[in-house]
Structure 1
Amino acid sequence: MTPEEFIHKHITAALVAEGFPDQVAKGGADCGLEHYRCMSQASKKGAAYDDCLYRARVWAQGQTSKAERKSSKKKLSQGSLL
C-alpha cells in the first residue's frame, strides 16, 4: 500500500465515521490527497496525515449541511444496533 492509498483509505473511513455520505467522504479524501501531493512539509512533525484530514473535513463540511451529517450518522448508529 502506497502512502497515497493509505491516506485516501483512512480519510474516507474517518469521514464516513463522522457521518458524511460515502460520495462526499470520497470527494473529501480526494481533496486531502491533493493537499498531500502539493505540500512540501507538514505543519508540525508527524502531522502530514492530520493536515490532509483537516483539509478533507473542511471540504466535506462545505458540501453538506449539518442536518445531512446528523441524519447519516443516525442511520449508521441505528444500523449497528440491529
Structure 2
Amino acid sequence: MARKLHEEGKLPFIEVYVDVPIEVAEQRDPKGLYKKARAGEIPQFTGISAPYEAPEKPEIHIHSDKLTVEQAVEQITKYLVDNKYVQL
C-alpha cells in the first residue's frame, strides 16, 4: 500500500529489507523482548506468536547476520548512487 501511494504521487519508494534469522535477533535482543514473548508475556509478537511476512520484492535486501554495519551502509549507498537518487 505504501509503495502504491508513493508511485501514484510520483515519489520514489525504496523498500529496504533488513533480514535476520530469528535466532540471531533473539541473541541481539537487549531488552529481552523475545524471551518475554516466548514465555507468553507479550502476545502477538511478530515472528514468535504472530506471523511475519517478508517483503516480496524489496529494492535492497540486507542480510544483517552476514554483513557488518559498514557493509550494509555500503550496499544501500551503492543502490542509491547506481539509481541516481544521490551523488557522491
TM range (shorter): 0.3 to 0.5
How high is the TM-score relative to the length of structure 2?
0.31
Higher-Rg member (1/2): 2
Structure number having the greater strand percentage:
2
Q: Which has the higher contact order (CA 8 A, sep 6+)?
A: 1
